[in-house]
């Protein structure tokens, strides 16, 4: 569980499911995801390392990051890529995509030369659930549209969760142009928090990315069938041509549910404290938000399509990261110790 057979045996006839439970019939609960992580770690002790990178802001639920590499417990001199999902509680398909990506990398490692090269030469980090308490709240209460978006931050400090006033939009809490994006009204579903990185979840995500010096990444959301890149209404990104090229090809690898075309490509608002804006603005990491599907809770048949198409896009992305790098060290000629330096490439 969930693996390639995540949806095997799922009843796809909505007439045989209650309206309240139908959206939840093929998506895992939070405790199932935690159990899956534990079992996977036992099965792949060399290729997989699991790290608790933090705890959620209100309930103290663990945030897990999974590292896939040929020697996952070692600190190797390899470029790091970061995949994440479920910043928003009502967007489960991205979490399942992360889970299937992890399983594919691990299970195909010995038989698939392409997968083996990716795992051998990269450090691939995956955070399947950035917002565990919001996700748990949605599933525990079997919420229906519009479900829930934020975490469970107690904004009015009364000790009682009140969906009218509580919660922070985690994807407006990153520390890059934070003050210009989202909203400052705690009742808004886009409430950015009281200050940048006010939420434990974003502390954990930023700390992981900075520590590993991530070079590229994807953050999965729902919905829109579009790839979003940094950035639009802000000064032009120095790497705009490269960012656009990778984004365009990534989008072209993912077919829409209609089958008639592939995902679109649009710029992010550079004046919003979102993950990809922070990743590029702070780390110069080439990072994208991928809006999966055309609704928050896709049915089982559509979910299978979304996962298959998105995995093809992810594989392209990883190969592109692996094949387009300058790697090495700048060291002091006398001591051999690494030094902070700026590298200039002629013509760029």
With a pLDDT cut of 70, the percent of the chain lying above it is: 93
Structure tokens at 55: 């705890």
Q: Edge to edge, what strands does the sheet with 286-291 contain?
A: 48-55, 62-68, 122-127, 79-85, 216-221, 286-291, 226-229, 264-267
5, containing H or E segment: none
Rounded to a whole number, what is the distance in angstroms from the first to the last CA of the chain? Answer: 47
Give pLDDT tens digits for 244-275. 999 999 999 999 999 999 999 999 988 899 99
46, 72 Cβ separation under 8 angstroms: yes
Q: Residue 21: its pLDDT value, please?
A: 62
- Write the secondary structure of 319-347 as one string of H (helix), E (strand) and C (coil): HHHHHCCCCCCCECCCCCCECCCCCCCCC
Question: Are 173 and 202 contacting, i.e. CB atoms less than 8 angstroms apart?
Answer: yes
Torsion of CA 288, 116, 2, 290, to 10 degrees: 10
17-31 pLDDT tens trace: 445 567 888 999 999
Beta strands in the chain (DSSP E): 48-55, 62-68, 79-85, 122-127, 216-221, 226-229, 264-267, 286-291
In this prediction the pTM is: 0.91
Please, what sign has the CA dihedral across residues 201, 203, 209, 211?
A: negative
Task: For residue range 174-186, list pLDDT tens digits in order.
Answer: 999 999 999 999 9
Average pLDDT over residues 43-49: 96
Q: If we measure between CA atoms, which residue out of 187, 155, 149 comes closest to residue 169? A: 149
d(CA 57, CA 60): 6
Q: What share of the chain is helix, strand, coil (3-state, %, to 5)?
A: 35, 15, 50
Enumerate residues 6+ apart whose C-beta is below 8 A from 300: 7, 10, 11, 12, 25, 26
For 261-318, write each residue's pLDDT tens digit. Answer: 999 999 998 889 999 999 999 999 999 999 999 999 999 999 999 999 999 999 999 9
Report the distance separating Cα 221 and Cα 278, nearest Å: 16
For residue 221 the two structure tokens come to: 């959301």
User: Which of 104, 21, 9, 119 has its CA nearest to residue 307?
Assistant: 104
């Amino acid at each position: 569980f969930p693996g390639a057979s995540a949806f095997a045996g799922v009843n796809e006839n909505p007439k045989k499911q209650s309206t309240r439970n139908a959206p939840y019939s093929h998506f895992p609960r939070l405790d199932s995801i935690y159990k899956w992580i534990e079992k996977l770690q036992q099965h792949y002790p060399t290729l997989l390392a699991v790290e608790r990178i933090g705890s959620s802001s209100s309930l103290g639920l663990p945030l897990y990051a999974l590292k896939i590499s040929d020697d996952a417990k070692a600190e190797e001199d390899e470029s790091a890529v970061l995949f994440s999902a479920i910043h928003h509680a009502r967007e489960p398909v991205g979490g399942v995509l992360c889970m299937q990506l992890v399983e594919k990398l691990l299970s195909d490692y010995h038989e698939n030369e392409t997968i083996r090269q990716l795992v051998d030469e990269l450090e691939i980090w995956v955070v399947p659930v950035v917002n565990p308490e919001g996700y748990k709240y949605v599933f525990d209460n079997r919420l229906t549209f519009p479900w829930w978006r934020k975490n469970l931050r107690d904004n009015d400090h009364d000790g009682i969760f009140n969906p009218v006033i509580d919660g922070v939009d985690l994807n407006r809490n990153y520390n890059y142009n934070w003050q210009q994006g989202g909203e400052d009204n705690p009742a808004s579903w886009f409430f950015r928090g009281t200050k940048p990185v006010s939420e434990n979840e974003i502390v954990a995500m930023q700390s992981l990315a900075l520590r590993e010096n991530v070079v590229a990444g994807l953050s999965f959301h729902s919905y829109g069938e579009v790839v979003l890149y940094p950035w639009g209404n802000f000064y032009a990104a120095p790497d705009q041509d490269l960012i656009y090229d990778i984004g365009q090809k990534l989008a072209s690898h993912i077919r829409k549910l209609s089958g008639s075309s592939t995902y679109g490509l649009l710029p992010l608002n550079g004046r919003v404290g979102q993950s990809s804006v922070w990743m590029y603005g702070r780390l110069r990491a080439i990072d994208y938000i991928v809006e999966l599907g055309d609704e928050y809770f896709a049915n089982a048949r559509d979910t299978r399509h979304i996962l298959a198409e998105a995995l093809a896009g992810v594989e392209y992305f990883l190969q592109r990261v692996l094949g387009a790098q300058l790697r090495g060290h700048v060291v002091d000629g006398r001591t051999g110790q690494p030094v902070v330096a700026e590298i200039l490439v002629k013509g760029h």
